[in-house]
Every structure is written in C-alpha cells, then in structure tokens.
Chains A and B, each alone.
Chain A
Amino acid sequence: MKELILILIGSALVNNVVLSQFLGLCPFLGVSKKTKTAASMGAAVIFVIMIASAVTYAVHYMILVPLHMEYMQTIVFILVIAALVQMIEMMLKKVSPAIYSALGVYLPLITTNCAVLGVAITNIQDGSTFAESMMNSLGTSVGFLIAIVIMAGIRERLEGNDIPKPFQGMPIVLITAGLMAIAFCGFSGII
C-alpha cells in the first residue's frame, strides 16, 4: 500500500508528465489560456488515461505477449487508444449526455495526446503489476491536471501585464513553463 502511494506521489509531482518528462506539451500550451477550460482538459485527460492504460495493459499481456509480438507495441497502442477514445465518445453521447457535453471537444483532442501513449508504454516497460500501473496512470494524469491548471492561472495573470514586445505571446509562456519545470525540481527530494 505504501508503495502504491509512493508511486502516486512520484508520478504526480516528482516525475511530472509535462514538466519533467515533456510529454503532452501540445495541450499544455494550447488549452491553458483559461483556468476553466484547462481544468476540463485535465479532467478529460484523467478519464482517458485511466481507461487507456487499463485497456493497453490487457492488450499487451493478453494479446501481444502470447503471440510474441511485443515489438509491435507502439503502433498497436496508438491504434487501440484512438479507437478506444472514439468508442468512449460514442457511448458517452448516448449513455451520459451530461458528461459528454462537459468533456466536449477535449475528448477527441486527447486521442493524439502523447502523454496517454507515454503512460501506457511506461507501464509496460517498468514491468509494473496492474495495480501499480493504474496508480501510475492516476498519478500521471493528476500531475497533468496540476501542471495545466497552474499554467492557466499564471497565464491569466500575465494577460494584463506589460511584457516586452519580443516576449509577448508564446515566448513568455515557454519561459513560464521552464520556470515551472525548475520549480518542480524541488519535489525531487521527497521520495
């Protein structure tokens, strides 16, 4: 149990998916203009990563390993995740329109989020058990939520500021992301 909690903290803060592994940068920079949309994006990422890593875990150990096809891992995972997100979207639209409209456009956007694929592959490479890999997925996606919400908060504050012309727009955002990454280094001592 203690180990699982350590995995959770480790993947959420110490090895933050965005700020120390540099995965999922595209939505991190693209959807972080407002705190509200950033939070929806983060919630959608948690949802998709949890389901995707459970399914890819099953696909790897129940299909790829018995067939000795481990080398096809990356391409199979991409295919499975893309189809999976599409299926979930269709089901949600019918079963739960409330969740569907809350997640909105973010659900299909995540199909191509490399953080999702990254977590799925890391889980297999580390040889984790199912419980460990689910904990790792939860930690990673919560880490993404934390990072993107903090980023959106900072960007909202940046809005009214007098930024030198060469730094306006994306440059200042990237500098902010860099500073955040340095700040997150401070967590490296806790486990």
Chain B
Amino acid sequence: MIANSIPYMVLAFNIQNVLIGGAFVGVLGLVLGVALGIIGKMFFVKVDEREVQVRECLPGNNCGGCGYAGCDGLAAAIAKGEAPVNGCPVANAEAKAKIGEIMGQTVDEADKKVAFVKCSGTCDKTERKYNYYGINDCRKAVMVPGAGDKLCSYGCMGFGSCVDACQFDAIHVVDGVAVVDKEKCVACGKCVSTCPKALIELIPYKAPQAVACSSKDKGKDVRVACKTGCIGCMICTKQCETGAITVTDNLAKIDYEKCNGCGKCAEKCPQKIIVAR
C-alpha cells in the first residue's frame, strides 16, 4: 500500500476501517429503509383521493373566507360532503365547476359577490371634529369619544384596517375613504369582519347601483356632518318602479333581488349618494 510508505498517514488513515464503517452504515440504512417501507404499508391511512383533487382546484391562499381552517380544511370538508362544492368564495366559476365534476355534482352558479364600502365621505365632503394623534388603526381610533375624528360618526375613518386585512390588494384608502377594486375583490369577507363600523357589505358583482352611505342620523344632522350623506328624503323610493328601495332609519337600502338597474334612483337622488357602479 502506498499509504504505508508514508509513516504519518498510517495512524490517521486505515482504508479497511473506512470500508467497514461505510458498509455498516449502508446496511443499517438499508435495514431502516426496508423497515420504514413495511411500516408505511402496515400503517397506511386511506386518504380520500377526491380530497387531494379538490385541494388542487382551490386557490391556496388560506384566507379562511369559507369558514374552515385554510384550503386543506375546506377540501376535506367538501370531500366528506360537509361543505357545499361552491364553498370557496375565492375560486372562480371554472374551478368550482371542476370541483363539482370531481364530486359528481352540478354547481348552481352562485352570484359573484364583491365588497362595497358604504361611505363616500371623502376629505372634501366632511370635516374633522378634532385631531386624532393615536395609533393608525380603525379598531383603536373607534374607541375614542365620537368614534373617530370625522364629523360623521358612522363614516369611514380611513386608517385602513381593511387594507391590512385584505390579502388580495383589492381595497385601498383613497382620499380618506376605503374603496374596493371590484375586479380584484374575491369576496372573502375579511374586510367586512375587520371594519369596526360595519361599513363594508358584500353585494352582487352585477349590482348596478349602491347606497354609499351608512348614516342613520336625521337629514339635518347628516347635512351638518357630511356634504353627501343620505338624508332619508324618500325620493328614491318614489322613483323606483320595482319597489326595490326602502328607507329605514333615515337610510336608503336597495334590495338587489328586486332591482332592475334602471338607474332612476341615482338620477334623482339630491345628495348623489346612490352611485352607479
């Protein structure tokens, strides 16, 4: 051996020991691998293959909009038949149809919904009653007397807690009021539950008009607080041919089941608070 001719190598390097060691670890690895394989077969847990397929159709954002703990949770529930096949609010119609195909059911095409912020009190329309120097978060600001610094105690405070909640970059604060980008919105409902003033509602994507105000104050008080709020004048209810608009608590409300989208209400609204979308 060459190694033997170099004296100091002899102590450190013994090819036989290295080979034995290598072989030993190799055999051990082989034994463990076989054991793992056998145990894997013995303790095989059957997973519903539909669950895996359904999971592949889901978007994978784990937003929790469906009410289950992430997309895996919903996939398991759909496969078990506990959740409806169109349970995911985020998946598009194509993905839902595919899930329906896997589960052997037809999907009744649910109306696509989007979030809508029922406030239009931008910085130029309403005044501030005091200067708020607290934490920039709606849920903190709503705690101070008067529920935020805007004159209207119902309106959007514009600190953007909903913006933080949105995982899809679909809501932004523009000019002091949150605005939803209806193309990006997937109606997961995160912003709806975040808004401390409950200003955000899920409305049909196709809804032609919407009331952009949440103030339940009387007309006179609304005019003081905001240049554009709903004063409850009832003009819209008289215009509507299908009886889709009702005014309760000094606030107009559109029933989208009945609305035919004629747009007369928006035309006649003196405050321009019924907006075409």
Contacts and interface: CB of A to CB of B under 8 A. Distances in A.
> Are A and B genuine complex partners?
yes
Interface string A58-84: 000000000101011001100110010
Interface stretch (B24-32, B171-179, B186-194): B24-32
Contacts of B133: none
A87 interface: yes
Contact of A94 (B24, B25, B32, B43): B43
Give the interface size class of chain B.
10 to 19
B43 A90 contact: yes
Nearest to B17: A71
Nearest to A75: B25
B35 A90 contact: no
B6 interface: no
Given A80-B32, A83-B32, A93-B45, A67 B39 contact: no
B40 interface: yes
Contact of B28 (A79, A86, A90, A94): A79
Contacts, number: 38
B221 to A, nearest CB: 37
B24 A91 contact: no
Nearest to A95: B43
A93 B43 contact: yes
Contacts of A90: 36, 39-40, 43
Given A72-B21, A72-B25, A79 B32 contact: yes
Nearest to B40: A90
A91 B32 contact: no
A76 B28 contact: yes
A95 B20 CA distance: 38
Contacts of B21: 69, 71-72
Nearest to A78: B25
Residues of A contacting B: mostly: helix
Interface in B1-58: 20-21, 24-25, 28-29, 32-33, 35-36, 39-40, 43-45
Contacts of A72: 21, 24-25
A87 B39 contact: yes
Nearest to B21: A72
A15 B28 CA distance: 33
Contacts of A83: 32-33, 35-36
Contacts of B36: 83, 86-87, 90
Interface in A24-60: none
B27 to A, nearest CB: 11
A79 B43 contact: no
A72 B19 CA distance: 12
A107 B200 CA distance: 42
A91 B43 CA distance: 6
A38 B20 CA distance: 42
26 contacts: A67-B24, A69-B20, A69-B24, A71-B21, A72-B21, A72-B24, A72-B25, A75-B25, A76-B25, A79-B28, A79-B29, A79-B32, A80-B28, A80-B32, A83-B32, A83-B33, A87-B39, A90-B36, A90-B39, A90-B43, A91-B43, A93-B43, A93-B45, A94-B44, A94-B45, A95-B43
Given A80-B28, A83-B33, A87-B39, 19 more contacts: A69-B20, A69-B24, A71-B21, A72-B25, A75-B25, A76-B24, A76-B25, A76-B28, A79-B25, A79-B29, A83-B32, A83-B36, A87-B35, A87-B36, A90-B39, A90-B40, A90-B43, A94-B44, A95-B43
7 residue pairs, one from A and one from B, having the closest CB atoms: A94-B43, A83-B32, A90-B43, A93-B45, A87-B39, A91-B43, A94-B45
